[in-house]
A and B are shown apart, each in its own frame.
Chain A
């Protein structure tokens, strides 16, 4: 999206008027949003609300990577997809809705599996990475890649009635491995497919991630740096847990043992 040196079109002024009138945003902030490039992993429960709101907000470029196709069982929570797009690649189903919402935003649909071999090439041209994946290997892969490439990362997770959000700023705050050094052994932690999730929950966590991303773009407010936000939907409770940077962290600590991406993150333990 171009604003011709700060000039908005009449339609853009109307579309973004509720942003522009905020002292924290204004025309300058909206132009920052318009020039931001974000890389989103997953077009599922978290990825749908994240990309929906970031598209509405007018983020300049959003790349979405997902190798899955829409399944009927996704529709209880993955709000960009519909009964009509069952069987279609999720990134294509998502792109159609996002393009219809806001043609200002460039949506790049990548139907691919994220791997240690391709992730650094994917994220290098983006300002912020957003993890909306639903499995531990991807979460650790994305974390390590963002620390190594020095990219801010919004990470979210949901299971049953509980969600977690955190914002990782490499070099400034904690990373995911400071929090949980190693992946849990396979079979111990149920994946989302097995675990079940109340459909609204990824909507809440995903929109919190979208808000974190907009604040990162604008440089306003406090993000969840060194902090894990835990939402308990059954008890309607938000809890912030302080997560100090771990000086012995294997990837972002003082003497890291992970200095390049592991060849595979499918194995339970990756400590390079």
Chain B
């Protein structure tokens, strides 16, 4: 599978909900349609809620990966403003 290279990365480790989503949403708002955002986070609930909320807002979640004991990486492609 082809590796996806994010257009923007944010590190929101240490943040809890709803600020995990607030930060992710602000980041994706400033991107262009078609670009990919990488979100690095360590708040377990957000690994589920961010993908769900992003989909509710019309964005496409490409992957959710647990990369070590504490952290997740989520890749989201911006589909709409």
Contact = CB atoms under 8 A, between A and B. Distances in A.
Contact of B26 (A14, A18, A27): A27
A26 B19 contact: no
B22 A13 contact: yes
A20 interface: yes
Interface in A1-44: 6, 8, 13-14, 17-18, 20-21, 23, 26-28
B52 interface: no
A21 B29 contact: no
A228 B21 CA distance: 38
B16 to A, nearest CB: 11
Interface residues of A, number: 12
A82 B20 CA distance: 39
B18 interface: yes
Interface SS of chain A: helix
Contacts of B23: 13
Nearest to A5: B30
Contact of B25 (A6, A14, A18, A26): A26
A93 B18 CA distance: 35
A21 B30 CA distance: 15
Main secondary structure of the interface of B (DSSP, over half): helix
Contacts of A17: 18-19, 22
A6 B21 contact: no
Contact of A8 (B21, B26, B53): B26
Contact of B19 (A6, A13, A27): A13
Interface in B25-39: 25-26, 29-30
Given A13-B19, A14-B19, A20 B26 contact: yes
B13 interface: no
B45 to A, nearest CB: 15
Nearest to A19: B22
A27 B53 CA distance: 16
13 contacts: A6-B29, A8-B26, A13-B19, A13-B26, A14-B19, A17-B18, A18-B18, A21-B18, A21-B21, A21-B53, A26-B26, A26-B29, A27-B29
Closest 7 CB pairs of A and B: A27-B26, A17-B22, A27-B29, A20-B22, A23-B57, A26-B29, A21-B18
